[in-house]
Amino acid sequence: MLLSVLSGFILAASLPLIGKYLKEKWAILFSLLPLSLFIYFLSFQPDISDDKNLLFSYNWVPSIGVDFNFHLDGLSLLFTLLITGIGSLVFIYTAAYLKGHPYLDRFYGYLAMFMSSMLGLVLSDNIITLFIFWELTSISSFFLIGFNNDSEASRKSSLLALGVTGFGGLFLLAGMVVLGYVGGSYSILELMNATDLIQSHPLFVSILVLVFIGAFTKSAQFPFHFWLPGAMKAPTPVSTYLHSATMVKAGIYLLARFTPVLGAHEYWNSTLIIVGCITMVYAGIHAIFRLDLKGILAYSTISALGILVFLIGLGTDDALLAAAVFILVHALYKATLFLVTGIIDHETGTRDVSKLSGLNKVMLPVGIAAGLAALSNAGIPPSFGFVGKDLIYEATLHIGDWAYLLTGAAVITNICLLFAGFLAGFKPFLGKLPVTYENVHLPSPLLYVPPLILASLGILFGILPLLVDDSLIKPVVAAMLNTSSDFFHLQLWHGWSTVLLLSSITIGGGVGLYFILNPSEGLLTKATRFEPISPLSITGKITGLFHGISQGYTSVIQNGYLRYYVITILVFLSFLLGYKIFQGIDLYLNVATLSEITIYEVIVLGIMAVSIVYTVFTKSRLVAVASMGVIGYCICLVFLFYSAPDLAMTQFSIDTLTVILFVLVLYNLPKYLKLSDTGSRVRDGLLALIFGGLISLLTLEVLNEPLEREISAYYAETAYKLAKGKNVVNVILVDFRGSDTMVEIIVLAIAAIGVFSLLKLRLKSIEKE
């Protein structure tokens, strides 16, 4: 199981070796991976419908309770099958769609990584690994969306997608940590038993908010939906895979997964209902006005995700059943429509729905696939979509107080979705074929067979719901309810009822709308008039503001002048020290505790004072450097007086080297130049005096603190016993704190390499000129 989850990463990692042999002609072989995974997961299906709980445990970091525990139940099974099944078709499709692309191998690597992350996400029982896989999907999708990295729009939208989903991911992490803290476990299975404890905990609301933000950003719920239409810049296989069937459903999965833990609570239900409702209606209406096929599909996807959130929010048995069915329905028809859009784009070079028509004459199989998907999308019998839509109405009608309002919202959404589906599924294929597209030809079967398979499944499941009823759907609902339930059967025909009436209204309304409303530029401009108040532009403005502030801040602080850096640091430290010294601590100096002043110290201090005056007021650079060296040597002498010979030795050598370095650098400069004016010299002098004074005060203060002799006593005692050395300083350096020293010499080496490369590289570029 671990291997199957990580196989995508293994494939991606092995690409540098095998990629270039495969990408030319054998790209289709990549699809063996998802296909074999699909079969592997399908083999678990009998166990799942027998209500067996399959748990595969692998230790990872047991000390903090983070392990690879893969739990396969109905919900995970549905998602793994979608991920690997649609994954296989997308892999096959890509082989033809991106044929001859120079980075095809890389693309497969990203896809495989993404697939593995998704599998890990839906299988993880441990909420921390769940989060890790969650973030991995964001990261791999970043690469996929930005695959055409020479286009600026593509880079921008991938960054936006990463920003929004990554932002949500952080909230999710916080939510998971709080949840683990409250529930006392990181395992979802164990958390399910602690539902009462969690829901009555004062932190419950914050868990909800955090988890919601995570799920809403990922599943493109209002007001975080705006990254999804942008992400359509990705190659179509990516849109198909990520944005119809898998990644955007991760948020839905999260909500469904946590329904038994966090669900059935007033806040949970009402938030999800409201957000889902707004999203589905808002995005549904948006979808009507789009011209770009992918734009239409993007908005209808957001709308469908809204429906799912809404259904999970309703939380009744009916609603969860409807959600389970709708996940499958939507994945099947939306993936088909995306794949078809890709074919249209590939063959005709446009995705503008107002320009496309009559393509049935040149690519009939594609048209059939699109038509079947549009039927399922519209919920016209006998498609699987019809079953799904009936269940949705069933769920909304039985909700009680708000039944009429919610059913109304659902009807409006479904009308919009139906319209969008017709626009994408029928419009390009029916009617008269424009002259420009007459020599368009049928693409390779690799392209049109995958959508055909998906679309036919959408119809097949509708005619024979038995196929998926007991085997797939029921375990999903059981997993969401955390009980094994046996109360329903999927049916195509429910008899004459309100639900049927609503379905007819939907279909009638949608078809009517399709004939009345013609997609045109005019409608799009009307819709774009509201752009300035959309969440996208508001976020854009906030990001811009953020950018501006940080740029201004950076150009003030990081101005590139070493002297200003030093001034900034000193001023900041002076404020900090000054505040602390004059606010918190009583200043007093106990003269009695100080040791007596010797004549040597007085002499050394005198030399130092003279050198300082010399350094500051001398006219010659070399003299200044030399007197700095004298000051350094004096400090060494002070160290010697106070019995720190090691320190003194090192300081001597360092000072010597510093002077040499200075001389080397200054040797070729003019002897003296008065570069700074009197004003700044006075300022620097004042600053130096203040800072020096504060440090002196601080040192005196430290003397007053009771001295902790324990550590030095420990070292003095054990240095010889444990490390066989008598020089405690050196023993600490090479033995007790040896790792520190190790890292320090690495840092030294890096610094030397830095100096070397900076100067030598600059030299080379000057030589070139």
Q: Is there binding between residue 197 and other proteins (CB under 8 A)?
A: no
Containing 56, the helix (H) or strand (E) segment is strand 54-61
Q: Is there binding between residue 613 and other proteins (CB under 8 A)?
A: no
3-class DSSP string for 688-726: HHHHHHHHHHHHHHHHHCCCCCHHHHHHHHHHHHHHCCC
- Least distance in angstroms from the C-beta of 730 to other proteins: 4
- Least distance in angstroms from the C-beta of 664 to other proteins: 5
CB atoms within 10 A of CB 309: 30
The binder of other proteins chosen from 112, 726, 767, 768 (CB under 8 A): 726
- Least distance in angstroms from the C-beta of 669 to other proteins: 9
**Is the Cβ of residue 619 or residue 721 nearer to other proteins in the bound state?**
721
Cα–chain center distance at 28: 30
Residues 105-134 that bind other proteins (CB under 8 A): none
Q: Is there binding between residue 32 and other proteins (CB under 8 A)?
A: no
Task: Tell me if residue 587 falls in helix, strand or coil.
Answer: coil
Q: Is there binding between residue 735 and other proteins (CB under 8 A)?
A: yes
- Least distance in angstroms from the C-beta of 101 to other proteins: 41
Dihedral (CA of 301, 307, 310, 315) sign:
negative
Binding pattern for the stretch 678-717 against other proteins, x by CB under 8 A and - elsewhere: ----------------------------------------
**Is the Cβ of residue 412 or residue 732 nearer to other proteins in the bound state?**
732
- Least distance in angstroms from the C-beta of 739 to other proteins: 6
Q: Specify the stretch interacting with other proteins by CB under 8 A; choose among 271-279, 322-330, 585-593, 729-737.
A: 729-737
* Listed residue (216, 218, 221) closest to 133, CA to CA: 218
Task: Tell me if residue 488 falls in helix, strand or coil.
Answer: coil
d(CA 542, CA 160): 13
- Least distance in angstroms from the C-beta of 758 to other proteins: 9
Cα–chain center distance at 125: 20
d(CA 491, CA 499): 13
In single-letter form, the type of residue at position 345 comes to: D
CB atoms within 10 A of CB 354: 15
* Listed residue (177, 169, 175) closest to 142, CA to CA: 169
Where does residue 264 rank: exposed (0-12), middle (13-18), buried (19+ CB within 10 A)? middle
Q: Specify the stretch interacting with other proteins by CB under 8 A; choose among 148-156, 534-542, 649-657, 685-693.
A: 649-657
Size of the site for other proteins (CB under 8 A): 43
Q: Specify the stretch interacting with other proteins by CB under 8 A; choose among 129-137, 233-241, 506-514, 736-744.
A: 736-744
Q: Is there binding between residue 739 and other proteins (CB under 8 A)?
A: yes
Q: Specify the stretch interacting with other proteins by CB under 8 A; choose among 91-99, 295-303, 436-444, 648-656.
A: 648-656
Q: Specify the stretch interacting with other proteins by CB under 8 A; choose among 20-28, 139-147, 618-626, 755-763.
A: 755-763
Q: Is there binding between residue 645 and other proteins (CB under 8 A)?
A: yes
Where does residue 158 rank: exposed (0-12), middle (13-18), buried (19+ CB within 10 A)? buried
Q: Is there binding between residue 749 and other proteins (CB under 8 A)?
A: yes
Q: Is there binding between residue 636 and other proteins (CB under 8 A)?
A: no
The binder of other proteins chosen from 24, 438, 646, 717 (CB under 8 A): 646
Q: Specify the stretch interacting with other proteins by CB under 8 A; choose among 197-205, 520-528, 554-562, 731-739.
A: 731-739
d(CA 87, CA 91): 6
Residues 490, 492, 493: CA angle, nearest 5 degrees: 115
- Least distance in angstroms from the C-beta of 71 to other proteins: 37
d(CA 357, CA 354): 8
- Least distance in angstroms from the C-beta of 632 to other proteins: 13
* Listed residue (343, 420, 418, 321) closest to 376, CA to CA: 418
Task: Tell me if residue 187 falls in helix, strand or coil.
Answer: strand
Q: Is there binding between residue 471 and other proteins (CB under 8 A)?
A: no
* Listed residue (244, 253, 251, 303) closest to 278, CA to CA: 303
In single-letter form, the type of residue at position 162 comes to: L
Containing 70, the helix (H) or strand (E) segment is strand 66-72
The binder of other proteins chosen from 538, 649, 686, 716 (CB under 8 A): 649
- Give exposure, 34-44, as e/b (b: 16+ Cβ within 10 Å): bbebbeebeeb
Residues 304-343 that bind other proteins (CB under 8 A): none
Q: Is there binding between residue 638 and other proteins (CB under 8 A)?
A: no
Q: Specify the stretch interacting with other proteins by CB under 8 A; choose among 296-304, 603-611, 644-652, 673-681.
A: 644-652
Q: Specify the stretch interacting with other proteins by CB under 8 A; choose among 178-186, 402-410, 472-480, 734-742.
A: 734-742
- Least distance in angstroms from the C-beta of 720 to other proteins: 9
Rg (CA), the chain: 35
**Is the Cβ of residue 688 or residue 749 nearer to other proteins in the bound state?**
749
Q: Is there binding between residue 557 and other proteins (CB under 8 A)?
A: no
Q: Is there binding between residue 405 and other proteins (CB under 8 A)?
A: no
Q: How many residues does the chain have?
A: 769
- Give exposure, 503-530, as e/b (b: 16+ Cβ within 10 Å): beebbebbbebbeeeebeeebbeeeeee
Q: Is there binding between residue 722 and other proteins (CB under 8 A)?
A: yes
- Least distance in angstroms from the C-beta of 757 to other proteins: 9
- Least distance in angstroms from the C-beta of 646 to other proteins: 5
Q: Is there binding between residue 156 and other proteins (CB under 8 A)?
A: no
Residues 299, 303, 307: CA angle, nearest 5 degrees: 165
DSSP 355-369: T---GGGT-HHHHHH
- Least distance in angstroms from the C-beta of 598 to other proteins: 21
- Least distance in angstroms from the C-beta of 753 to other proteins: 8
Q: Is there binding between residue 724 and other proteins (CB under 8 A)?
A: yes
d(CA 688, CA 666): 23
**Is the Cβ of residue 144 or residue 638 nearer to other proteins in the bound state?**
638
Q: Is there binding between residue 589 and other proteins (CB under 8 A)?
A: no
CB 277 within 8 A of CB 412: no
**Is the Cβ of residue 556 or residue 746 nearer to other proteins in the bound state?**
746
Binding pattern for the stretch 653-672 against other proteins, x by CB under 8 A and - elsewhere: xx-xx--xx--xx-xx----
CA distances in angstroms from 660 to 562, 612, 667, 753, listed in the order given: 21, 19, 10, 19
Q: Is there binding between residue 733 and other proteins (CB under 8 A)?
A: yes
d(CA 691, CA 578): 9
Cα–chain center distance at 50: 37
Q: Is there binding between residue 760 and other proteins (CB under 8 A)?
A: yes
Rule CB under 8 A: which residues touch other proteins?
A: 645-646, 649-650, 653-654, 656-657, 660-661, 664-665, 667-668, 722-727, 729-731, 733-735, 738-739, 741-742, 745-746, 748-749, 751-753, 755-756, 759-760, 762-763
